[in-house]
Amino acid sequence: MKPIPYGLAGYKRIREKNCYYIDKTRYIPQLEATGEFLFFIRPRRFGKSSWLTVLESYYDISRSDQFDFFFKGTDIYERPTSEKNVYLILKFNFSAVNPQLDKVEESFEEYTDKCFHFFGLKYRDWLDDDYFTMMERQKSSHGKLGFLLDYIGLKGHSVYVLIDEYDNFANTILTTAGQTAYQELTRGAGFFRFFFNVLKSAVDQVDSGISRMFITGVSPVTMDDVTSGFNIGKNISLHPNFNELLGFTEFDVIELLRYYQEYSNLVIDDFDKTLSVMKAWYDNYRFSNRVETKLFNTDMVLYFVDNLLELGTYPDDMIDQNVKIDYGKLRHLVVLDKRLNGNFSHIAEIIKTQGTQATRVVSSFPVEDLIKPENFISLLFYFGLLSYSESNRLTIPNQTIKQLMYSYLRRGYQDVDVFNVDIWRLSNLVQDMAYHGEWRPVFEFLADEVKKQTSIRDYLTGEKVIQTFLLAYLSVTDYFIIRTEEELGKGFVDLYMEPFLAKYDNLQYSYLIELKYLTRTEFTEEDLKEKLKEAKTQLNQYATDTRIIKRSGGGQIIKVALAFSGWELKAIQQY
């Protein structure tokens, strides 16, 4: 049985271990035909680093005798291009640079110096002694880069430059140190900007040492800042031909599951149910509005299947811890300089409506323009927090991303000392809600905390805002799949807490929740009674929907009305 390549980013190790590999090498000829200098953005944990090691293995002139080892059995093996094994590879992975502000430049110099050193060792047979003598005289990263490319060009050789996670440490600095520190790095005389200036100038030379370049990252912002737009090549991130370059199709996932069913002790009692769960949590990414094929996140699928093989069941946590850590770095989307920025309300609105009406993704923009709604929405798309739906509307792709976005709201409130609750206690209360039908303590707990923590009250104005607030805190566990504004029984339910029966098959309770809101200045007991009467009618109507009955698994459907006046919970009523 082939090992599952979970946690393996290097193509060489994947081949050495004879891991299960979903072949993407058919894209190599397409990339060659598309352009020489390519820029490719994909969300975290989609396999960007792994893909660069495929390119490195294919084009490296020093590995020509290993072509069979690397590529036998793949698509490119049968139809190699004329550029196979003809380049000297100069590779950087900027995630290796220390992002601490007072150490980043020194770390960048040390890291790139190491890359140049090992380049010389690897390609000793293609270099003369004067190369090493002259390289020793270069004292800076940009000096060494410029000399290397000039020398290789004059010698008649060709370099393929691979840059992985080009924006990694720059994004971290933006997150931790703020916009001013970030701009000092990427603007004017910043060393990072100067490094890319050398790459740009080398491309324009007659005897250029660069023949090809492939750059990956998670955002176009840094590239726009360090190069005033990616004007040294082609941005193929939104190109429909490369929608499936990274990620798994549904066909890929089905083949993967069937393989391990056949060659391992894995028993999948209900194949369709397992596939349905994976689609709900890891699928629905489309990186062009011109394609129909949806994609699964690579890491999430491998994480899930790895747990199936080890445990024989679904993972305890449906979200890989590595994904949580990576996406946790994006908290600057809603918190900047210890304040909730304007994007907080955008995130809240997106969560409430499960997406946005926007259909256009901006190809690039500088960091100071991030506050513009169209740019912020585009950034969420690049990060994988939004994706094209079948109607070409930008929506939250799956349950994993929903859970992460809910956590952004919770952490946003916490980071600026607006609202901070005992998540452990709340999780236990939601657990009792799921297993024992004890729903009232959850809402009473949140209402009491709002009373005690006065800072949150200014944010809880209006039914939709309260709805989003509840979404953020009811989602602290995965016992329920929480749906909002879903059409049920010829109406749109405010909150539907569907039991996650595929994982917790003994849950007996589901919840339909209708919110009613009255302003504090116009509140009367008579109006409250009228609102609750209206909620009762709506809840009874929702409960007749056959989908609700099916999704409840035969368990009890609890209908609850919550009436708020301002921030205050005035009534809780079960029907």
Complete domains list, the chain, with CATH: 11-242 (3.40.50), 250-322 (no CATH), 426-575 (no CATH)
Query: pLDDT at residue 358 above 70?
Result: yes
CA dist., res. 25 & res. 325, Å (int): 30
Return d(Cα 424, Cα 440) in angstroms, integer: 17
End-to-end CA distance of the chain: 54
**Token couple for 50:** 């792994």
Mean pLDDT value across residues 6-28: 95
pTM reported for the whole predicted model:
0.91
Lookup result for tokens 């989602």: 475
For 114-134, what is the mean pLDDT? 96
Helix count and strand count (H, E) for the chain: 24, 17
Q: pLDDT by residue (tens digit) across 418-434?
A: 899 999 999 999 999 99
User: φ and ψ at 572, to 5 degrees?
Assistant: -130, 120
Q: Is the per-residue pLDDT at 331 higher than 70?
A: no
Q: Which residues contact 228 (CB under 8 A, 6 or more apart)?
A: none
Classify residue 546 by its DSSP letter: H
Which 3-state string (H, E, C) describes 59-74? HEHHHHHHHHHHHCCC
Q: What's the chain's average pLDDT?
A: 91
Instruction: Give per-residue pLDDT as tens, 377-393.
Output: 898 999 999 999 988 89
**CA–CA distance from 320 to each of 6, 118, 358, 404 (Å)?**
11, 34, 29, 11
Candidate from 28-42, 229-243, 271-285, 515-529 with smallest mean pLDDT: 229-243
Q: Which of 435, 437, 410 is nearest to 423 (CA)?
A: 410
Lowest mean pLDDT among 9-13, 459-463, 545-549: 459-463
pLDDT at 354: 84
What is the mean pLDDT of the segment spanning 299-317?
Answer: 93
